Amino acid sequence: MSNGDEHGGTGPLDAGAFGPWLRRTVAMLGRFPGAGDGSDVPCDGCTACCESSQFVLVEPDELDARAAIPAELLFPAPGAPTGFSLLPYDEHGRCPMLRDGACSIYAHRPRTCRAYDCRVLAAAGVDPGPEKQAIAARVRRWEFTFDGADDERSAGAVRAAAAFLAGHGEELPGGAPPPTQRAALAVEVHDLFLDDGSPGPTEVLVELRRRLSPR
């Protein structure tokens, strides 16, 4: 595979202003009121996330998505409560709802698809892994703009959080999160790394465990 992606070459892509993106993403990850269900990724025809051997979680209340997806494609999500399902990928790593280079149920796609934003990987400096080269190619092209020192400091905190999680992930509930989840978690908990006098590893782990504990 080339170093670019098949939907737009190798040049830089405008990821948007970092500060507003970060605030919206933190709100969405925490499911805060007003955050909505979806991200605002400027995909511009890119389907890398649909072609990278990713399972799609479908939650019990997503009746619209369930009506659009053939029932025989869904299977119970391992380790999840009753009613949660997974949509698998085919032998080529593609979502079975991807047809003719586009999502055939886009208006009815699951919440997981609406929320997915590969820019979290760029923000956190996390490589999605060798099996997701199409996503990696897209991630390498994203470039945020920064409006002042606060944005720069927040960006540094996200990367510091990602580095911490890479080194201490095994100590978290459920073990080390995979790359995309690690990047998303780094965005969600970056506030712990904003100050130069950040707490030590033990204190950070205690707070991370508290936040990750089932509510």
Provide the whole-model pTM. 0.85
Residue with more model confidence, 66 or 41: 66
Question: Sorting pLDDT into bands at 50, 70 and 90, what band is 213?
Answer: confident
Average pLDDT score over residue span 146-160: 95
Average pLDDT, the chain: 88
- Cα three-residue angle 118-22-29, rounded to 5 degrees: 70
What are the residues whose beta carbons fall under 8 Å from the beta carbon of 214, sequence distance 6 or more? none
Q: Could you tell me the residue ranges of all domains in the chain?
A: 1-41+117-215, 45-116
Alpha helix segments (H runs only) across 89-148: 111-115, 119-124, 133-141
pLDDT of residue 177: 87
